[in-house]
Amino acid sequence: MANKDAPFGMRPIRMVSGEPFSGGSNRYRITANYDTNIFMGDIVEVATAGTITRVAASNTDPVLGVFLGCFYSDPTTSKPTYSNYYPADTNASDIIANVVDDPNVMFEMQADAIFPVADLFGNFDIVDNSPVGDTNSGWSRMELDVTTGATTSNLPIKAMDISQDPANSDVATANTNVVVVFNNHLYSGGTAGLA
């Protein structure tokens, strides 16, 4: 059966040890008027002045983690606001993002093409779809870029397994869901993937 084409960025599923993911995240700041939307499931990295930014395709810097929403004072109403995504150019001085930054978390992510079992343990880049996210749900549309599979140590993610989701576990059709971990992470340096 063909896989469902419904990208969602990176969704935490469990720890590398096999324990359940507890929902743990840490607080990080987004600078006022940052000019890029950040969606739930997007990869983020540290930036200047103690803030974070969204990671785009072809980034080779170490990543920090996965964005899980943010809190800020709405610049128009001054009301406290929680959002699944950061709206670009928000002029608030108190934007706090929740980020899953533990390098031992495993995530599920949709591949943008057929993902064969032979590609497991390789390192991969991401692909940004257009649009990059859904402003209604707040979810990212980022996917694993199958064509970038390599041993390169500064690629952001490493494929570990095929999802057990029956709607997206077919390795013979496009959009397979893949279980991934961070490879090039701020808290643990990248390692070469298997050829």
| pLDDT tens, position by position, 14-56 | 999 999 999 999 999 999 999 999 999 999 999 988 899 999 9
Q: Do both 111 and 134 map to the same domain?
A: yes
Residue 192, pLDDT > 80, answer: no
The mean per-residue pLDDT over the stretch 55-62 comes to 92
Q: State the residue range of the domain holding 72.
A: 26-100
Residue 6, pLDDT > 50, answer: yes
Q: Do both 64 and 131 map to the same domain?
A: no
The mean per-residue pLDDT over the stretch 69-74 comes to 96
Q: Do both 52 and 96 map to the same domain?
A: yes
Whether residue 193 lies inside any domain: the answer is: no
Residue 195, pLDDT > 60, answer: no
- Which of 168, 117, 169, 114 lies closest to 145 in space, CA to CA? 114
Residue 194, pLDDT > 60, answer: no
CB 75 within 8 A of CB 60: no
Place of tokens 């540290």: 46
Per-residue pLDDT reduced to its tens digit, 156-181: 999 999 999 888 898 999 999 999 99
Q: Do both 110 and 89 map to the same domain?
A: no
Q: End of a domain among 100, 116, 145?
A: 100
| pLDDT number for residue 191 | 61
Whether residue 52 lies inside any domain: the answer is: yes
Q: End of a domain among 100, 121, 146?
A: 100
Q: End of a domain among 69, 100, 131?
A: 100
Whether residue 141 lies inside any domain: the answer is: yes
How many domains would you assign to the chain?
2
Whether residue 195 lies inside any domain: the answer is: no
Query: Which DSSP letter does residue 27 get?
Result: E
- Which of 143, 121, 130 lies closest to 10 in space, CA to CA? 143
Q: Do both 35 and 65 map to the same domain?
A: yes
Q: Do both 69 and 122 map to the same domain?
A: no
CB 100 within 8 A of CB 68: yes
Whole-prediction pTM value? 0.92
Per-residue pLDDT reduced to its tens digit, 91-147: 999 999 999 999 999 999 999 999 999 999 999 999 998 889 999 999 999 999 999
* Dist CA 61 CA 156 (whole Å): 8
Half-sphere exposure of 115 (CA within 13 A, CB side): 31
Q: Do both 64 and 93 map to the same domain?
A: yes
192 vs 29, 31, 46, 140, CA distance in Å? 31, 33, 23, 27
Q: Do both 144 and 91 map to the same domain?
A: no
Q: Do both 32 and 82 map to the same domain?
A: yes
The mean per-residue pLDDT over the stretch 54-60 comes to 93
| pLDDT number for residue 188 | 81
Q: Do both 177 and 108 map to the same domain?
A: yes
CB 44 within 8 A of CB 97: yes
